[in-house]
Amino acid sequence: MASVETEVEKPAAQGAAMEISVSRQDLVRELTATQSVVERKTTIPILSNFLLEADGDRLHITATDLDQAIRTSAAVKVKKPGACTIPARKLYDYIRLLPDGEISIKLLENHWVQIRSGRSNTKIVGMARANYPQVPEFPAVAAISLPHSALKTLITRTIFAISNEESRYTLNGALLILKAESLAMVATDGHRLAFVEKPNEILQSVSGEKRVLIPRKALSELQQLLAASEDEKIEFADDEHTLFFRVGHRTLSTRKLSGQFPNFEAVMPRDNSKFAVVQSSELSAAIQRVAQFADERSGAVRLRLESNELKISANSTESGESEDTIDTPYSSEPIAVGFNSVYILDFLKALNNEGEVRLEFKDSQSAGQMRPEDPDAEYKYRYVLMPMRI
């Protein structure tokens, strides 16, 4: 056994040596930001690893699944610059269990990596740095500066409407629309469409209109990076194949979705003249109650507007029937429309179930539209729902 231990302890080959010490707290924070990109089940083993690269006074950490990548860094003491790859899940889970304090990471022979912390001493089997795929660099061209809070709101209000069907790949992302004085985002799965715009937002270096399709998984990663950042602005750039988002010291890159996003403007209802205004929280609570008795497969509920009332009902042969009534000023002719209850709740949740919403209808066969009832709102938000037969 002694001879094996001695062999492992030998210094790594020339040019590949790496030895650093880093605060556990700093390392956990950056590993947390990157680990969700790592492929859990992959046919390419190296993709299950983090790439660690040490130079100057920084440790750069990269994770990729080939479609997207996150690069981040932490301040460290670099005793020997170098690079290594370590199984991401194993490293993340192990570092989280260590007590706070300094951690020493050292590359040994045969790609083994030694981690010391206090009286803990662990060696993890890594893989050759040379096998790690090349991750695209943030372009040197002028980046577009985007407002952090606006982008965060745009994603929250559209991401749930993105299609999960792999076959409809142009619907597997949200369309970001940048103009000189506004930014907007739209997503649809063919059954519903969410459109949100932030007008009066000056975007430097944008002339005309720029449209980019951002994949759902990348939007989800970007949402997490934004939630963990306090920067007021983020940087966006793209090249022929890749989109880049720089949030503080972290960069997300993702492969562009090819193909044409549907003509969403054509779907927007223009003559939905029948409408009612209700409290978001009241509508959400009523739908949640009634939906317990909806058909399990379709989740359909019926919305019926009649004299100063909105009636929400559902029934199924398996569970029974339920009806809730909400008072609302309404004097037009009665109308009843069926919708997927989950789709309505998704929209209300994106509004934090706050304020009033306007429900707009044309007839029982046409698309309905929902939007916040606030003429002075900072964002223009429209949610279009296809009706269901019930």
- Residue 164 has what pLDDT? 86
pLDDT 10s digits, 18-71: 999 999 999 999 999 999 999 877 889 999 999 999 999 999 999 999 999 999
In this prediction, residue 16 has a pLDDT band, given cuts at 50, 70 and 90, of low
> Across residues 3-17, what is the average pLDDT?
42
| Same fold for the pair 2-131 and 144-264 | yes
Q: By CB neighbour count within 10 A (0-12 exposed, 13-18 middle, 19+ buried), where does 164 fall? A: exposed
pLDDT 10s digits, 62-117: 999 999 999 999 999 999 999 999 999 999 999 999 999 999 999 999 999 999 99
- Residue 4 has what pLDDT? 37
Amino acid code (one letter) for 132: Y
Q: Quote the CA–CA distance of 30 and 249 in Å, as a whole number.
A: 10
Kindly give, in sequence order, each residue whose CB lies less than 8 Å from that of residue 61, ignoring residues fewer than 6 positions away.
30, 31, 34, 50, 51, 52, 71, 72, 73, 74
pLDDT 10s digits, 137-184: 999 887 999 999 999 999 999 999 999 887 776 788 999 999 999 999
CB 144, CB 206: distance < 8 Å: yes
- Residue 253 has what pLDDT? 97
User: If one looks up domain 144-264 in CATH, what number appears?
Assistant: 3.10.150.10
pLDDT 10s digits, 342-388: 999 999 999 999 999 999 999 999 999 999 999 889 999 999 999 99
Whether 260 shows a pLDDT value over 90: the answer reads: no
Whether 12 shows a pLDDT value over 80: the answer reads: no
Q: Is the whole-model pTM more than 0.75?
A: yes
Superfamily of domain 268-385: DNA Polymerase III, subunit A, domain 2 (3.10.150.10)
Amino acid code (one letter) for 304: R
- Residue 167 has what pLDDT? 73
Strands (E), 76-143: 77-80, 82-87, 102-107, 112-117, 120-125
Q: Quote the CA–CA distance of 187 and 199 in Å, as a whole number.
A: 18
Sign of the torsion formed by the C-alpha atoms of 5, 6, 9 and 11: negative
Ranges of each domain in the chain: 2-131, 144-264, 268-385
Q: Quote the CA–CA distance of 13 and 209 in Å, as a whole number.
A: 52
Q: Quote the CA–CA distance of 87 and 83 in Å, as a whole number.
A: 14
Whether 244 shows a pLDDT value over 60: the answer reads: yes
pLDDT 10s digits, 181-239: 999 999 999 999 999 999 999 998 888 999 999 999 999 999 999 999 999 999 999 99
The architecture (CATH level 2) of 2-131 comes to: Roll (3.10)
Q: Quote the CA–CA distance of 371 and 263 in Å, as a whole number.
A: 20
pLDDT 10s digits, 261-295: 999 999 899 989 999 999 999 999 999 999 999 99
